[in-house]
Amino acid sequence: RLLGVTKTYDMGQVQVHALRDANLAIPVGKLLVILGPSGSGKTTLLNLLGGIDRATSGQIFIDGLEVTNLGEPDLVKYRRNKVGFVFQFFNLIPSLTARENVELAAELVPDPLNPVVVLEKVGLGDRIDHFPSELSGGEQQRVAVARALVKNPPLVLCDEPTGELDYATGISVLEVISKACHVDRRVVLLVTHNAVIAEMADIVVRLSGGRIVSFVENPRPKPARELVW
């Protein structure tokens, strides 16, 4: 839940209002898609929820915990134990194989899933000993999704996870993300500027100029494999 969350970047002469008075209640087990043009505050919102960045004002509650109140050590614990993050540009460690990238995340948390099982679930059972440079973009993004999910986190944040992928691999990544939400009952936020992806959302939130301008429930979300763009 976000209550009056604001993020202002102070750039000396100018202040950038990246997020203005954001209020949002996110139900568990629902896929929330955040839509908005470039610069509208999507990444800022995810970074605040994920404890990567701090709000200027307002409160964020996750799972009963007030994230905005945490000191640095507790914020590290929060990020480590509660949040799975999928970045637009994958951010895999190049010197580690797919399996090692996922194992590293698993080692950080007390109750991880089995790395190889998770890699099999994202369809990479036959690629686990490949290095990132030996994988396609879609495969690298699926390793990144596995790395987020292996921690068994209640909250999964995906920042333009298909932005760098072709259509078919994008759909397969979206299917995995949808299952993480609807089958494994995690809170999943998916940021995109591709309006078609909103058709698979349970809830669509639109951002414009740092403001949440709409919050719409979708009565009939489409399965990922039926999306066309």
> Pick from Mg ion, ligand ADP, none: which does 40 bind, CB < 5 to 8 A by kind?
ligand ADP
Closest CA to 198 of 34, 37, 43: 34
Closest CA to 27 of 191, 227, 182, 152: 182
Query: Is position 33 an interface residue for ligand ADP (rule: CB under 6 A)?
Result: no
Beta bridge partners of 66: 61
Determine which residue in the list 43, 88, 97, 172 makes contact with ligand ADP, applying CB under 6 A.
Answer: 43
- The contacts found for 178-184 with CB under 8 angstroms, 24 or more apart, are 178/31, 178/223, 178/224, 179/121, 180/145, 180/149, 180/156, 181/29, 181/30, 181/31, 181/156, 182/29, 182/31, 184/149
Q: N- to C-terminal Cα distance for the chain? A: 32
Determine which residue in the list 24, 31, 43, 139 makes contact with Mg ion, applying CB under 5 A.
Answer: 43
Query: Is position 41 an interface residue for ligand ADP (rule: CB under 6 A)?
Result: yes
Site stretch for Mg ion (CB under 5 A), options 40-48, 79-87, 102-110, 118-126:
40-48
Tell me the number of residues near Mg ion by CB under 5 A.
2
**Token pair of 169 as six digits:** 């691999």
Determine which residue in the list 9, 89, 167, 229 makes contact with ligand ADP, applying CB under 6 A.
Answer: 9
Give the x/- contact pattern for Mg ion in 125-164, rule: CB under 5 A. ----------------------------------------
Query: Is position 42 an interface residue for ligand ADP (rule: CB under 6 A)?
Result: yes
The letter for the amino acid at 174 is L
Return the H-helix or E-strand segment holding 58.
strand 57-62
Nearer to ligand ADP, 42 or 186 (CB): 42
Site stretch for Mg ion (CB under 5 A), options 43-51, 64-72, 180-188, 207-215:
43-51
Contact 203, 30 (CB under 8 A): yes
For residue 214, the minimal CB distance to ligand ADP (Å) is 15
- State the residues that interact with Mg ion by CB under 5 A: 42-43
Residues binding ligand ADP (CB under 6 A): 9, 11, 16, 18, 36, 38-44
